[in-house]
Chain A
Amino acid sequence: MSSTIALIFIGVAVLFIIGIKFLSSPKTARYGNLVAAFGMLVALIALHKTTGDYVWSQGWNLNYTLIAVGTVLGLIIGAIGAYSVKMTAMPQMVAMFNGLGGGAAALVASLEFLRRAQGQEDVTAAITIPMLFATLIGSLSFSGSIIAYLKLEGKFEKPHTFPGQNFLNGLILLVILGLCGWLTFNATGGNAVTAFIVMFSLAVFFGIAMVMPIGGADMPVVISLLNSFTGLAVAADGFAINNLAMVVAGTLVGSSGTLLTLLMCKAMNRPVTNVLFGAFGSGGGGTVAAGGVAGTVKPIQADEAALLLAYAQRVVVVPGYGMAVAQAQHQVRELSDELGKRGVEVQFAIHPVAGRMPGHMNVLLAEANVPYDQLQEMEAINPSMDRVDVCLVIGANDVVNPAAREEKSSPIYGMPIIEADHAKTVIVMKRSMAKGFAGIENHLFYKDNTRMLFGDAKASLQALVAQVKAS
């Protein structure tokens, strides 16, 4: 590597790090994304082969035409995906892009492996191990992400389990690892190619088998995990084809993604192993708490709810996935503005895992122009919940369930919640008495200070806005 390339490469690495750093603060996040994209552009322009040849200065041949066509095709697919997707469907889109990246990582490693298996070059374990790793992790990230995408789209959302599933998955994984072990020392010849193809297929299958038993509610954690997997696969590819930019970028994503996954699990108070192997969303364990809920459900009409809100001093809104489904974020902002005009202090309490992905609610509310200083994190708002006049719960369920605090047998026991029940009055907007993702009864709905406002969140909010204006 010449010193010019080395300098450019250092610049690219710095741009990626600054990009991720900027992405961690609301004020600079957008620049962070642009900085990282700029880094990518620089790396593309400076792309060199392992041999040191500059990629873009060679004679144009069929391969370069294919590169140009493929890149433009991917650009079009990516742009259509990115700009046509509804804000509520963002998580799926991230899963899809991640899956494509994983697939690409697996294919790059496979091509390199097959080329070496049939070629004359020396193949050492130091080069085989990264290639096998990238193939295995990349292909399971590919198939796993597609299953995660489909689950978030509402296809087979329920976990699919059968007795001995973890055992069978473990067995498949053992076979895969066995094949990888053998291939590490027997990486050339026809047998190696056959074994490699079997390993590749099993890894794709394993990705499906790994994600199928996990419930739709846990998909954010799964996507985050698969995102870091793809990062590691890309880093391994970087080792195999000796490209430092890929090693650094992939590793940064791998380690920051792992940390992000752990942060998400911590927010749900569940160890990551429980998410991956527990098949929790099945409701199987959730039926325990169903019986003994004391109290009655008390409905409220929009006009009375509007009066409570209009004459409150402090209102806290707790949004959840129901708000996203009803596309009601603009109505929420309208209501908040109306109340603000009357001098009511309005805040939004955001549970770390509200919606389908951490930060999902923030993105939706930001889309509706709710200023982000009005958004409060769970830890910040809980201590003052008992001084809140009205807590308005919009389509949130498990994240405000006091069972997490009160009922030891509940599967969500110990999960941190927004303490909505501490407010003087709680108004819960909900379509029906259906259960949340965890599949358990919500004790909040039966509390004395809770009123239920049934109906579609968007329609109810429009009614509330009209009534608040009138009163």
Chain B
Amino acid sequence: MDTNVLFIFILAVFVGFEVISKVPSMLHTPLMSGTNAIHGIILFGGILVLADAATPLARILGFVAVVFGSANVFGGFMVTDRMLQMFKKKKK
């Protein structure tokens, strides 16, 4: 394993902690939902393994992974946007 990747991993751990340390509780649900959408990047993992799939079993499992990942990423961003579009200031 590339030690650079490990280095990036450690830095990302600290950034992740730091970046949400001052979030008001009213935004906990949208934040959870938004980060949930970000781990939908697993769709790319699905695409990469399916692109190289050589057996029928690998194609079936890879296909399921792509569907799951796609639902995670698209649904995640959409549901978060739907929550957040309600946080509007009252029009006077």
A interface residues, Cβ below 8 angstroms from B: 13, 16-17, 19-21, 23-26, 29-30, 32-34, 36-37, 40, 43-44, 47, 49-50, 55, 58, 62-64, 66-67, 69-75, 77-79, 81-83, 85, 90-91, 93-94, 97-98, 100-101, 103-105, 107-108, 110-112, 114-115, 126-127, 130, 223-224, 227, 230-231, 233-235, 237-239, 241-260, 263-264, 267, 350, 352, 357-360, 362-363, 366-367, 369-373, 375, 377
- Contacts A250-B41, A260-B20, A375-B26: A40 and B77 contacting too (C-beta < 8 A)? yes
A to B CB contacts below 8 Å, 25 in the list: A20-B35, A24-B23, A30-B84, A40-B40, A58-B51, A70-B63, A74-B71, A74-B75, A77-B70, A77-B75, A78-B70, A82-B75, A94-B29, A101-B72, A115-B52, A231-B35, A234-B45, A244-B5, A247-B12, A249-B39, A252-B38, A253-B39, A256-B16, A260-B23, A267-B25
Q: How far is the CB of B9 from chain A (nearest CB, A)?
A: 5
Q: Are B61 and A244 in contact (CB under 8 A)?
A: no
Q: How far is the CB of A407 from chain B (nearest CB, A)?
A: 25
Within 8 A of A (CB), among B26-63: 26-54, 58-59, 61-63
- In the assembled complex, the Cα of A55 lies from the Cα of B66 at a distance in Å of 15
A233: B residues at CB distance < 8 A:
42
What is the total number of residues of chain B having a CB less than 8 Å from a CB of chain A?
79
Question: Which residue of the partner chain, among A24, A98, A247, contacts B31 with CB atoms under 8 Å?
Answer: A24
Q: Are A40 and B73 in contact (CB under 8 A)?
A: yes
Q: Are A55 and B12 in contact (CB under 8 A)?
A: no
- In the assembled complex, the Cα of A91 lies from the Cα of B9 at a distance in Å of 29
Most buried by A among B30, B66, B71: B71
Q: How far is the CB of A148 from chain B (nearest CB, A)?
A: 12
Q: Are A352 and B25 in contact (CB under 8 A)?
A: yes
Q: Are B66 and A66 in contact (CB under 8 A)?
A: yes
Q: Are B41 and A74 in contact (CB under 8 A)?
A: no
Q: Are B75 and A70 in contact (CB under 8 A)?
A: no
Q: Are A75 and B26 in contact (CB under 8 A)?
A: no
- In the assembled complex, the Cα of A255 lies from the Cα of B48 at a distance in Å of 25
Question: Which residue of the partner chain, among A13, A101, A251, contacts B40 with CB atoms under 8 Å?
Answer: A101
Q: Are A350 and B29 in contact (CB under 8 A)?
A: no
- Contacts A234-B39, A369-B90: A111 and B17 contacting too (C-beta < 8 A)? no
Most buried by A among B31, B36, B77: B36
B30: A residues at CB distance < 8 A:
23, 29, 33, 359, 363
Q: Are B46 and A17 in contact (CB under 8 A)?
A: no
A75: B residues at CB distance < 8 A:
70-71, 74
* A111 to chain B: closest residue by CB: B49
- Contacts A78-B70, A264-B28: A246 and B49 contacting too (C-beta < 8 A)? no
Q: Are A362 and B26 in contact (CB under 8 A)?
A: yes
Q: Are A377 and B45 in contact (CB under 8 A)?
A: no
- Contacts A71-B66, A107-B61: A246 and B28 contacting too (C-beta < 8 A)? no
Q: How far is the CB of B14 from chain A (nearest CB, A)?
A: 8
- In the assembled complex, the Cα of A344 lies from the Cα of B31 at a distance in Å of 33
- Contacts A115-B58, A238-B45, A257-B35: A367 and B90 contacting too (C-beta < 8 A)? no
- Contacts A63-B50, A66-B59, A110-B61: A239 and B5 contacting too (C-beta < 8 A)? yes
Q: Are A243 and B44 in contact (CB under 8 A)?
A: yes
Question: Which residue of the partner chain, among A25, A43, A260, contacts B32 with CB atoms under 8 Å?
Answer: A260
B62: A residues at CB distance < 8 A:
63, 66, 107, 111
A114: B residues at CB distance < 8 A:
58
Q: Are B85 and A70 in contact (CB under 8 A)?
A: no
* A333 to chain B: closest residue by CB: B90
Q: How far is the CB of B5 from chain A (nearest CB, A)?
A: 6
Other A-B pairs, 6, CB within 8 Å; known A110-B61, A252-B19, A253-B16: A24-B20, A25-B24, A69-B63, A82-B79, A90-B33, A245-B41
Q: Are A94 and B66 in contact (CB under 8 A)?
A: no
B35: A residues at CB distance < 8 A:
20, 23, 227, 231, 252-253, 256-257, 260
Most buried by B among A16, A64, A264: A16
